[in-house]
Structure 1
Amino acid sequence: YWTLRWGKKTRKMVQMLFAHRWIYTLEQLKAGYHVLITDVDNIWSQYHPISEMEKSPYDVYHALETKYPTDVYDLQGFTVCGGMGWFRSDPKVIAFIQHIVDICGTLCDDQVILNQQMLHNASITWNLTEDIKKHRTHSPDNERLNGLLQDSFEGKSEKFGYRIKVWNRDFAYRGENEPKTCPANNWVSMPFVTYVSRWEGPNAKKQSYDKWDAACPNNFTKMMESRKAKESARRRR
């Protein structure tokens, strides 16, 4: 009983956080600031100038998700991540984010709302070619990660007028915590953490960073490991 109540309370708090990040995003967009949304546990691999997005013809950038929400995935074959994206301060984008905020209120699962509204309300036309549709992940042992789109593609909302670019899955990685092949030219990673019970979550999350560094070290990790090795060699002399 208490575990169930604790779980419901925690979920409610998380959904409040999700809703308020869109409220804050809307405020910043209205104030004239472009906004990069990222979850606090995302892992950054290298520097990428935000100015490239500002100078691009696109108004919104999204990272690919897995299959959540499933109703959207079943209809269009992909979903985007609510916790990783870039938004231009532009009336067209502001109108869409205002629409999201109006639906979310102060409590919502923003990934569900975002994907459902993009599919059912924004009237988005995507340039999904047959080659893009065919190039999918192959993880037969993990249905959640199997058959996902991998390439970048573009779209435009006919209703709101904003242009979209979806990053390729390697650049904005969403997948296994210890992949057999590390994502190429990776900017940001959002690897999944696998644990059995809710109580294992915090420790599993902390351990996941070490696992990711071991599996797919970035330049900073390699530099620190090299420095440690040199210091260790000096001590042995």
Structure 2
Amino acid sequence: MRLAIYFLFISVLSILLSLSVLFHTKATQSNEDHNLKVNNTETQKRKAKSSNVKIVAFTDHSFAPVGQWWYQRLTNLTYTAHTLVLFESRAVAHFEKLKAKGEYYRTEVKLIDIDNKLKRRFKIHRLWYIRILYCLEQLKAGTSLILTDSDNIFHRYVDLTLFEDSGYDAIFSFEQRYPTDIFKKQGFVVCGGMTFLKATNATVQIMEKLLQRCYESQGREGKNSKSCDDQTVWNELLFQDMEWNRKTEDLQAGNDLLQFGFDGVSKSVPSFRANLWDRQFSLRIPFETCPSEKTWVSMPAPFDHRKELEKKVKGQHGGFLQEFGLFELAKVLIWEKYCSLESSLDSSQRLEKAVSYYVSNSQNLIRPYANFTQYNGIFRNDLKQLPAGR
């Protein structure tokens, strides 16, 4: 009898333990499902809140491959409001071809009528006028912007609402030293290729002043030619109009470049408040400099001081492929490879190894971006004949 009672007790205890585990599992699963839903909701809220800020880069056919790379990088970082503004018909054809293949790119078309007899740098001056005009139109429509270049390299996700909620109408990046006359006068200059612009009345007024300066600039085609060096006119305007809360004591030893951002207000538009990102956050640098964990975006300068390496890269493709923008893409790929190599090597050795890697693997590296079949098959045919690694 006692033995029967004992086995009955064990059976009941076993059932109770099983029920306890079952309820605990369901509760845990329920909590996990709840947490997942909360996380997804927070992600959706974050991205929905960021939707009023658009990341924008302009590109023509010669920057189409690197623009394609730029777009994919931002997509991989989970951004959703990045846009390529195509200002030349061959760039439009490039991305229409990709879309026809089922690939998604968010693009806008802003064709520019430019005299083809002009040298490329003067064509770019016309582009910069159009870019300022585009920004002004977007701001008036209520869209805030991250204005960037298509060869800028983003490293990590940063919530754009941080800038929208910062209290500033604009946030600029430090340039190195150009334009040099302004740098000598105030000790710093800003970069025209990486800026946050908030859609406020104050920003619109400043951008109208900038557009007027660009219009009146003594361009290649004469005054009032609607062309300018936007970095020059930006720095001239800010130098004359802003009162900066500059901290000169933040210079690093042996380096005359300011490292930490500061803010300021406009004299002519008192409600306009601007700030500068810390240099390590938005990094305009010589080619042989690499980002830190703090860096959001890098803007490496060309490595044209190493003519033999530049010639080696260009020689890998030939002149007609340079025209189609593969050298611009190559610079980005080489820089990322350079920064992935062991820092124990000196910069010269690392650069040589990065260039050699690119030359040896160029066909595989560029093939995903080789979308120029619209040029009467020239690119497609010659791509097959690209030399193998040397």
CA distance in 2, matches of 1:97, 1:9: 27
Q: CA deviation at 1:177?
A: 2.0
| Amino acid in structure 1 at the alignment position of 2:286 | E
CA distance in 2, matches of 1:114, 1:136: 29
1:56 is aligned, of 153, 166, 189, to: 166
Length-normalised TM-score, structure 1? 0.77
Secondary structure at the aligned position of 1:135 is classed as coil
Question: Are positions 1:130 and 2:248 aligned together?
Answer: yes
Q: Does structure 1 conserve the Cα–Cα contact (< 8 Å) formed by 2:171 and 2:275?
A: yes
Q: Does structure 1 conserve the Cα–Cα contact (< 8 Å) formed by 2:182 and 2:235?
A: yes
Please say which structure displays the higher CA radius of gyration: 2
Length-normalised TM-score, structure 2? 0.48
Q: CA deviation at 1:91?
A: 1.0
1:12-161 superposed matches below 5 A: 12-105=122-215, 106-120=226-240, 122=241, 124-132=242-250, 134-135=251-252, 138=255, 147-161=256-270
Q: CA deviation at 1:206?
A: 3.0
Q: CA deviation at 1:23?
A: 0.2
Size of the aligned set, in residue pairs, is 200
**1:163 corresponding residue in structure 2:** 273
RMSD value, Cα? 2.3
Q: CA deviation at 1:160?
A: 1.2
CA distance in 2, matches of 1:111, 1:211: 26
Q: Deviations over 1:143-201 (max 9, x none)?
A: xxxx211112111112212111101111101112222x633311111001122499857
2:331 is aligned, of 208, 216, 227, to: 208
Q: CA deviation at 1:215?
A: 3.6
Question: Are positions 1:176 and 2:286 aligned together?
Answer: yes
Q: CA deviation at 1:211?
A: 2.8
CA distance in 1, matches of 2:203, 2:196: 11
Unaligned runs of 5+ in 2: 1-115, 216-225, 315-321, 341-390
| Amino acid in structure 2 at the alignment position of 1:22 | I
- Name segments (4+ residues, structure 1) moved above 6 Å: none
CA distance in 2, matches of 1:206, 1:90: 35
| Amino acid in structure 2 at the alignment position of 1:101 | L
Q: Closer, same or farther in 2 for the Cα pair 1:216/1:43, shift >3 Å? A: same
CA distance in 2, matches of 1:57, 1:34: 13
CA distance in 1, matches of 2:245, 2:135: 27
CA distance in 2, matches of 1:111, 1:7: 24
CA distance in 2, matches of 1:8, 1:70: 26
Q: CA deviation at 1:125?
A: 1.6
Secondary structure at the aligned position of 1:174 is classed as strand
Q: Closer, same or farther in 2 for the Cα pair 1:7/1:211, shift >3 Å? A: farther
CA distance in 1, matches of 2:213, 2:248: 34
Q: Does structure 2 conserve the Cα–Cα contact (< 8 Å) formed by 1:137 and 1:149?
A: no
CA distance in 2, matches of 1:9, 1:157: 36
**1:189 corresponding residue in structure 2:** 298
Higher relative contact order (CA 8 A, sep 6+): 1
Greater share of residues in helix? 2
CA distance in 2, matches of 1:10, 1:91: 34
Q: Does structure 2 conserve the Cα–Cα contact (< 8 Å) formed by 1:33 and 1:89?
A: yes
Identity of aligned residues (%): 31
